Amino acid sequence: MTTRVPAIVLGGTGYVAGELLRLIAAHPYLDLAAVASDSQPDEPVAQFFRHLQPVLPHLRFAGHDEVLEYVAANPVTAVFSAAPHGVSAGLVDKLLSAAEQAGTKPRVVDISADFRYSSAQAYEAVYKHAHGAPARIADFTCAVPEHLNALHTTHVAHPGCFATAVLLASVPLLSLGLAEPRLFVSGITGSTGSGRQPTTGTHHPQRHSDLYAYNALTHRHTPEITALARAAADVEAEFNFVPHSGPLARGIHVTVQAAAPEPVTSHELTAALREYYDQSVFVRVGGEPPRVKDVVASNFAQLAGVAHGRSVAVMCAIDNLTKGAAGGAVQWMNRMLGYEETAGLMLPAPGWT
């Protein structure tokens, strides 16, 4: 399929939405049709994303009712939801209901947490509020694109940014039996992962030149990581996750450590990782520890593994806004619409950010 498809972004004023707009603007097959924001209707998109003014000089935010009319009028629409957790499900439900009534067939990639769990109860146990559209959960599959060959649902929920990095490093260890199912994860994330509204922990004066852990062993992504690792590797594993806030705007670096069932060398571990991701264009396994600057603003992930006796460690670096959110979502949409998976996503990292 190489016909062009209109694309719509829900929750259009956040950082992930801005990254989606950047990627869609350069996509060879997606045409940006509307960006929805009930809080900023008819305001210029470039007012919120000045870096996009050269490519989106005249685009204005649309209200959600306008978006519903657009989806109902077009046979196929690529819908990306970057709305907040707890809000996205309701917006997606209304959109899909409008499409069903009109007989149209949008494809949705949700980047919030609302469709990442297999049941409303599992979601509510983590997020402590009722699910916005429990009847829609069965229509979504949640997985890292590299860990699922065949999609059996109409829509996709993209995993969280931390989850994406941890799973890219962990699933090969578990799938190949290279690690016992008790893993210890240390991760560092940039401030954009906390959203556009500044808080005490994400405000620049607080975060600049500092590094600190938060939600140690209780981070809300841990149940998500556990469930997705089980689905991808068919192993019930325990993840002990300690996230950190780093003094950077974009990027995630995680280190996953575990005990191997028997001694393994770094060469053997690296070879196994390379073979596992041999068909995955966006995952690169190197001999040197990955660096965030080598992946920021790209959809690529860098992995490296080291081993000493029965101790193994796999490090992974991704961009939280691209591979961990908007880029991964576009990667999924490419597959769902029958495009090459790499369409619009092959630009490398800029390097000296």
- Given the residues 89, 161, 314, 325, select the one marked as catalytic: 161
| Residue reference for tokens 């140690």 | 216
Examine the residue annotation and report whether 142 is marked as an active-site residue of this protein: no
Using an 8 Å Cβ cutoff, are 345 and 327 in contact? yes
Using an 8 Å Cβ cutoff, are 260 and 311 in contact? yes
Residues 6+ apart with CB under 8 A from 353: 250, 293, 296, 297
| Residue reference for tokens 């401030």 | 191
What DSSP designation does 132 have? S
Which residues pair with residue 74 across a beta bridge?
none
Task: Show the DSSP H helices in 161-316 as ranges.
Answer: 161-175, 204-207, 221-233, 266-276
Residues 6+ apart with CB under 8 A from 261: 177, 178, 179, 180, 310
| Residue reference for tokens 């490093």 | 169
Residues 6+ apart with CB under 8 A from 160: 113, 116, 221, 224, 324
88-102 vs 64-73: helix axis angle to the nearest 10?
Answer: 30
Distance CA 131, CA 86 (A): 7
Distance CA 26, CA 28 (A): 6
Q: Are strands 140-142 and 155-157 parallel, antiparallel or unpaired?
A: parallel
Residues 6+ apart with CB under 8 A from 62: 34, 35, 36, 37, 41, 42, 70
Distance CA 328, CA 40 (A): 26
Residues carrying an active site annotation:
161
